């Protein structure tokens, strides 16, 4: 599975100084390695997802490249050693291709995917991972994203309560899956057991930020932004952090657990009060409409229709189906933009491009027509794609 991430491109002679600054700030991506550029004159330094979206002036001369990260095999040696100690060389080499050598960090939790053929070794996998990552509290196995709320089916398979590692009868006080994650310099509360959140979307969110800045430059004012599938709000975290970018905001989701976490996050990012529990979509401040709502029905409310310069559509398996009901949310008195994600078979991309162009109003003059760009594999046959559509103002 591809792991696209930010890398800082630094000429070889400057690497040492830059690396000192990056490590002092804790911005080096854990478990990834620094590698040479194609021309051999520079190094690509992998940045942690928690590193600020805008790096400080001292680093701003260096280009940021979004490309696939390379695993630091040395970090992994530990986990293989522990696994081999627990199971013996024979078993480890028998299932060589199946062991979960990659994993995702969510705060002090680690998420791994365990193939069916090695399910019977789940506790040994959990133990080996905990032994090789001393700062990890909880290990969860990921059964994939399910249902309308796109929640991951997560099972706690191991935990640490110093000085003990548990793979069964895990004490309830260490089993909480609610965590605070630092992404692009901002804290996000999330609980992947009850609401969708993925660290893998960070680079997507940074791309959205750069499109939003482009749209702001065209409109010459802060944007009205609508994120009707916002989950716990990670896309908004990056946008709100940018000064004078977000004017009015509508943020909603169909999952009440996500809305509860969204309120907690907005309270932190906006420094204003929001309810503690989920509430139906409503206006809380002159520039904030937040709450529980079915995205396909929001434009039926005249107060919310025709108001938004930037519309985010992040429900990739239903984006195309929902688009007709979302378009009326756009503010057509000026250029506007939709940024969406779609899951599709590679062979169907031309057809879906055609469909999207049919559904959407005309493309803004001088801008490219919306087109799916493959971001990564979703499964062997399906691709996760994104698109941006610049929409012409209505005469
Ligand atoms: C793939 S997640 C994306 C969440 C968030 N934008 C993010 O990047 O983390 C899709 C979200 O859409 C929500 N959802 C599904 N159907 C919906 C609907 N009809 N109206 C509003 N939200 C919906 C789910 O609960 C889920 O939080």
Question: What confidence score (pLDDT) does residue 76 get?
Answer: 67
Q: Does residue 222's CB lie within 6 angstroms of at least one atom of ligand 1?
A: no
Question: Domain extents for the chain?
Answer: 4-68, 73-177, 197-391
pLDDT digits (tens, 9 = 90+) for 275-326: 999 999 999 999 999 999 999 999 999 999 999 999 999 999 999 999 999 9
Query: For residue 275, how far is its CA from the centre of ligand 1 (angstroms)?
Result: 20
Element (DSSP H or E) covering residue 357: helix 349-359
For the cut 60, the answer to whether the pLDDT of residue 26 exceeds it is yes
Q: Does residue 262's CB lie within 6 angstroms of at least one atom of ligand 1?
A: no
Which tokens sit at 203? 């680079």
216 phi and psi, to 5 degrees?
Answer: -60, -40
Query: For residue 277, how far is its CA from the centre of ligand 1 (angstroms)?
Result: 18
Q: Does residue 212's CB lie within 6 angstroms of at least one atom of ligand 1?
A: no
**Residue of the CA atom closest to atom 1 of ligand 1:** 315
Please tell me the CATH superfamily of domain 197-391, with its number.
Vaccinia Virus protein VP39 (3.40.50.150)
pLDDT digits (tens, 9 = 90+) for 243-273: 999 999 999 999 999 999 999 999 999 999 9
Nearest atom in ligand 1 to the alpha carbon of residue 341 is 1
Query: For residue 193, how far is its CA from the centre of ligand 1 (angstroms)?
Result: 14
CA dihedral 154, 160, 161, 166 (to 10 degrees): 80
User: Using 50, 70 and 90 to split pLDDT, how confident is the model at 376?
Assistant: confident
Determine the Cα–Cα distance for residues 331 and 341; give it in Å rounded to an integer: 21
Q: Does residue 154's CB lie within 6 angstroms of at least one atom of ligand 1?
A: no
pLDDT digits (tens, 9 = 90+) for 183-212: 988 999 999 999 999 988 888 999 999 999
User: Using 50, 70 and 90 to split pLDDT, how confident is the model at 2?
Assistant: low
First CA to last CA distance, the chain = 45
Q: Does domain 73-177 have CATH number 3.40.50.620?
A: no
For the cut 80, the answer to whether the pLDDT of residue 3 exceeds it is no
pTM of the model: 0.89
Given the DSSP bridges, would you call strands 336-345 and 310-313 parallel, antiparallel or unpaired? parallel
The backbone region for 77, taken as left when phi is positive above 0, alpha when psi lies in -120 to 50, beta otherwise, is: alpha
Is residue 57 helix, strand or coil? helix
Percentage of the chain modeled with pLDDT above 70: 98
Query: For residue 314, how far is its CA from the centre of ligand 1 (angstroms)?
Result: 6
Query: For residue 198, how far is its CA from the centre of ligand 1 (angstroms)?
Result: 12
For the cut 60, the answer to whether the pLDDT of residue 1 exceeds it is no
pLDDT digits (tens, 9 = 90+) for 114-151: 999 999 999 999 999 999 998 899 999 999 889 999 99
Topology at the third CATH level for domain 4-68: Alpha-Beta Plaits (3.30.70)
The backbone region for 26, taken as left when phi is positive above 0, alpha when psi lies in -120 to 50, beta otherwise, is: left
């Amino acid at each position: 599975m591809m792991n696209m991430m930010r890398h800082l491109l630094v000429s070889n002679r400057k690497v040492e100084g830059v690396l000192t600054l990056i490590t002092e700030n804790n911005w080096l991506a854990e478990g990834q390695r620094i590698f040479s550029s194609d021309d051999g004159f520079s190094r690509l330094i992998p940045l942690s997802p928690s590193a600020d979206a805008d790096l400080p002036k001292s680093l701003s001369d260096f280009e940021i490249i979004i490309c696939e990260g390379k695993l630091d095999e040395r970090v992994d040696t530990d986990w293989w050693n522990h696994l081999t100690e627990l199971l013996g060389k024979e078993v480890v080499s028998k299932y060589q291709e199946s062991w979960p050598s990659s994993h995702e960090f969510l705060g002090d939790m680690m998420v791994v995917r365990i193939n069916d053929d090695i399910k019977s070794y789940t506790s040994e996998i959990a133990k080996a991972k905990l032994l090789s990552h001393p700062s990890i509290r909880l290990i969860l196995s990921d059964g994939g994203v399910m249902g309308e709320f796109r929640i991951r089916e997560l099972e706690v398979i191991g935990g640490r309560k110093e000085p003990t590692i548990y793979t069964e009868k895990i004490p309830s006080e260490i089993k909480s899956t609610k965590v605070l994650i630092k992404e692009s310099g901002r804290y996000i509360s999330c609980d992947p057991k009850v609401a969708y959140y993925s660290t893998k979307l960070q680079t997507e969110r940074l791309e959205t930020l750069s499109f939003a800045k482009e749209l702001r430059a065209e409109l010459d004012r802060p944007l009205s932004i609508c994120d009707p599938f916002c989950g716990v709000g990670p896309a908004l975290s990056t946008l709100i952090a940018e000064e004078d970018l977000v004017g009015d905001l509508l943020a909603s989701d169909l999952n009440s657990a996500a809305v509860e976490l969204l309120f907690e996050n907005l309270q932190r990012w906006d420094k204003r009060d929001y309810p503690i529990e989920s509430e139906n979509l409503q206006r809380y401040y002159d520039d904030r409409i937040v709450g529980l709502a079915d995205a396909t029905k929001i434009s039926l409310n005249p107060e919310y229709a025709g108001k938004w310069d930037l519309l985010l559509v992040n429900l990739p398996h239903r984006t195309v189906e929902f688009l007709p009901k979302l378009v009326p949310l756009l503010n057509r008195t000026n250029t506007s933009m939709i940024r969406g994600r779609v899951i599709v078979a590679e062979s169907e991309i031309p057809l879906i491009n055609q469909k999207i162009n049919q559904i959407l109003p005309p493309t803004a003059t001088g801008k490219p027509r919306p087109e799916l760009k493959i971001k990564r594999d979703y499964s062997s046959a399906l691709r996760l794609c994104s698109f941006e559509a610049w929409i012409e103002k209505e005469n």
